[in-house]
């Protein structure tokens, strides 16, 4: 038997809560902590199976992250979501859940509710109207499944005894199954906490070190001045780091670089590494410059490059890094250096914008301690971890919600 008090630092001395059968302890079959995407999906599925479900949420609203997702339109899934798009120390873990609950399953739910949606690009599905429609869908389905969601409720202790006894600031509750669906560390100002990791560690599960993912990257010194000058300029590119490459746009910001290509690659970036950026994907730049040298010998390099890249970027590059002379005055070595610079461009990076702006948390509860079919802890029967709390991270574009739905669904089938 174990006592678990993830909030013990706030409680001071930890007292032993009453036994499950003590008077005043509400009994459920399943208690889910966290009313986000994964938690509500799990509540729906467990409730549909006739289980008595209670969801405990410390915020004043359920699904807050859903509401701000996709710029308020919620990119709720991706039609190309396949297990190999996901990052994890245990790559094959997500296969079972993503195969059992696919993007088509969630689309069927959206269509059943007649929520209008569209594909923006690359299989990314967004609501035509508002993310509120997805939250409404989930809450209605949860209600239809008789699941109870208790808001503004703080969990103060967790104890294992014939199931789980949960102490909260609204009294004690008990259940045979406990599902931890409290998400990751991204956007702490919206209620994100390291609660799931604390529970995992207290129960002897390993936690893969976490870091912000899908997050803008920052720079300093001269490179920062360069980025600030170009803030708002966007360039299609291929950004590569840590064995992953993404063909999307790069965006200069007042702190460094962002845009979908950089957000994607940031999940693979670690301190001290470089991001390699091909600013002219699909173009043999060396050959192009040689042709232009022959065809337009008097044109300046800046003029030639401005036909390919934003003028302000070319101007800034030519002031500092590139030889802005007439094409005829450039040697083969000069031209090769220009091609190398633009085809494999990088700036010194000193960090990320952190959890404050990160869309996801990379790392989390180590999936090697969980069943890939049910999300149940292998060594602690009745304890489940789902959603972003676990070490499964998708790329941008609806993949992270798909993981939340799929892992929530699978746990919901057996809690």
Ligand X SMILES: Cc1cc2nc3c(=O)[nH]c(=O)nc-3n(C[C@H](O)[C@H](O)[C@H](O)COP(=O)(O)OP(=O)(O)OC[C@H]3O[C@@H](n4cnc5c(N)ncnc54)[C@H](O)[C@@H]3O)c2cc1C
- Angle between helix axes 221-229 and 311-320 (nearest 10 degrees) is 150
By C-beta, is 20 or 186 nearer to ligand X? 186
Which value, to the nearest 10 degrees, does the dihedral of the CA atoms of residues 31, 36, 37, 39 take? -10
**Residue number with CB closer to ligand X (117 or 313):** 117
Of the candidate residues 31, 32, 33, 314, the single one contacting ligand X (CB under 6 A) = 33
Stretch that binds ligand X, among 85-93, 177-185, 240-248, 271-279 (CB under 6 A): 177-185
Q: How far is the CB of 24 from ligand X (least distance, A)?
A: 21
Q: Whose Cβ is closer to ligand X: residue 11's or residue 295's? A: 11
Closest distance to ligand X from the beta carbon of 171 (Å): 15
CA distances from 245 to 74, 206, 274, 354, 362 (A): 25, 29, 13, 21, 17
The residue among 248, 251, 218, 217 whose CA lies nearest residue 234 is 251
Strand pairing category for 256-258 and 244-252: antiparallel
Question: What span, in angstroms and rounded, lies between the C-alpha atoms of 261 and 274?
Answer: 14
Q: Which residues pair with 240 in a beta bridge?
A: 245, 276
Region from 14-22, 65-73, 270-278, 375-383 binding ligand X, contact rule CB under 6 A: 65-73
Q: Which residues on neighbouring strands pair with residue 171, listed in sequence order?
A: 168, 169
Residue 218 CB, nearest distance to ligand X (Å)?
A: 18
Q: Which stretch binds ligand X (CB under 6 A): 46-54, 83-91, 189-197, 233-241?
A: 189-197
Residues between 151 and 170 that touch ligand X (CB under 6 A): 155
Size of site (CB under 6 A) for ligand X: 38
Nearer to ligand X, 57 or 278 (CB): 57
From 16-24, 180-188, 219-227, 323-331, span contacting ligand X (CB under 6 A): 180-188
- Residues 325 to 344 in contact with ligand X, rule: CB under 6 A: none
Is residue 330 a contact partner of residue 318, using CB atoms and an 8 Å limit?
Answer: no
- 210-249: contacts with ligand X (CB under 6 A): none
Query: Should residue 5 be labelled a site residue for ligand X when binding is judged by CB under 6 A?
Result: no
Smallest separation, CB 15 to ligand X (Å): 19
Least distance from ligand X to the Cβ atom of residue 196, Å: 8
The separation between CA 221 and the C-alpha centre of its own chain, rounded to angstroms, equals 29
59 binds ligand X (CB under 6 A): yes
Instruction: Starting at the earlier edge strand, list the strands of the sheet with 75-78.
Output: 75-78, 124-127, 117-119
Q: Give min distance, CB of 126 to ligand X, in A.
A: 8
Among 22, 68, 307, 328, binds ligand X (CB under 6 A): 68
- Out of 4, 30, 36, 238, the residue judged to bind ligand X by CB under 6 A: 36
Position 264 contacts ligand X (CB under 6 A): no
Binding residue (CB under 6 A) for ligand X from 85, 193, 201, 202: 193
Cβ-contact 34, 41 below 8 angstroms: no
Q: Which of 65, 159, 211, 255 forms a contact with ligand X (CB under 6 A)?
A: 65
Interface region with ligand X, contact rule CB under 6 A, candidates 31-39, 240-248, 271-279, 335-343:
31-39
> Of 382-401, which residues contact ligand X (CB under 6 A)?
387-389, 398-401
Contact 255, 350 (CB under 8 A): no
The b/e string for 357-385 (b: 16+ C-beta within 10 A; e otherwise) is bbbbbbbbbbbebbbbebbbbeebebbbb
Contact track, ligand X, 70-99, x by CB under 6 A: x---xx------------------------
163's torsion region: left (phi>0), alpha (psi -120 to 50) or beta?
left
- Closest CB to ligand X belongs to which residue? 36
Establish if 56 lies at the interface with ligand X (CB under 6 A).
yes
Is 37 a binding residue for ligand X by CB under 6 A? The answer is: yes
- Nearest alpha-carbon partner for 363 in 270, 293, 283: 270
Min separation Cβ 241 and ligand X, Å:
20
Bridge pairing between strands 171-180 and 26-33: parallel
Give the nearer residue to ligand X in terms of CB position, either 56 or 301: 56
Closest CA to 195 of 175, 179, 173, 219: 179
Contacts with ligand X, residue ranges (CB under 6 A) = 33-39, 56-59, 64-65, 68-70, 74-75, 155, 181-183, 186-187, 191-193, 195, 359-360, 387-389, 398-401, 404
């Amino acid at each position: 038997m174990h006592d678990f008090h993830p909030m013990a630092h706030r409680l001071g001395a930890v007292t032993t809560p009453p036994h499950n059968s003590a008077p005043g302890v509400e009994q459920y079959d399943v208690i889910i902590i966290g009313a986000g995407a994964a938690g509500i999906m799990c509540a729906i599925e467990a409730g549909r199976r006739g289980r008595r479900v209670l969801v405990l949420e410390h915020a004043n609203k359920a699904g807050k992250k859903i509401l701000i997702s996709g710029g308020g339109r919620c990119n709720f899934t991706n039609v190309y979501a396949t297990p190999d798009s996901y990052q994890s120390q245990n790559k094959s873990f997500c296969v079972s859940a993503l195969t059992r609950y696919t993007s088509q399953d969630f689309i069927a739910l959206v269509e059943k509710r007649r929520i209008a949606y569209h594909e923006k690009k690359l299989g990314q599905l967004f609501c035509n109207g508002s993310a509120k429609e997805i939250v409404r869908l989930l809450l209605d389905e949860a209600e239809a499944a008789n699941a109870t969601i208790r808001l503004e409720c703080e969990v103060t202790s967790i104890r294992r005894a014939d199931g789980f006894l949960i102490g909260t600031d609204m009294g004690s509750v008990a259940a045979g199954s406990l599902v931890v669906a409290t998400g990751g560390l991204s956007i702490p100002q919206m209620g994100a906490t390291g609660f799931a990791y604390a529970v995992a560690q207290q129960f002897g599960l390993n936690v893969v070190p976490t870091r912000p993912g899908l997050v803008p990257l920052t720079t300093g010194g001269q490179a920062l001045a360069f980025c600030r000058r170009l803030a708002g300029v966007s360039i299609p590119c291929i950004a590569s780091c840590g064995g992953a490459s993404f063909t999307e746009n790069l965006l200069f910001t007042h702190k460094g670089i962002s845009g979908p290509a950089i957000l994607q690659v940031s999940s693979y970036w670690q301190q001290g590494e470089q991001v390699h950026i091909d600013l002219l994907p699909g173009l043999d730049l060396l050959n192009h410059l040689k042709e232009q040298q022959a065809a337009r010998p008097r044109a300046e390099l800046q003029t030639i490059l401005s036909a390919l890249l934003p003028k302000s970027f070319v101007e800034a590059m030519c002031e500092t890094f590139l030889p802005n002379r007439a094409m005829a005055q450039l040697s083969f070595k000069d031209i090769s250096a220009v091609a190398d610079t633009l085809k494999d461009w990088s700036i010194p990076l000193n960090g990320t914008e952190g959890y404050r702006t990160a869309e996801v948390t990379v790392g989390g509860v180590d999936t090697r301690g969980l069943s890939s079919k049910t999300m149940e802890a292998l060594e602690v029967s009745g304890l489940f971890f789902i959603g972003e709390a676990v070490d499964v991270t998708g790329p941008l574009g609806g993949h992270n919600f798909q993981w939340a739905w799929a892992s929530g669904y699978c746990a919901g089938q057996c809690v």
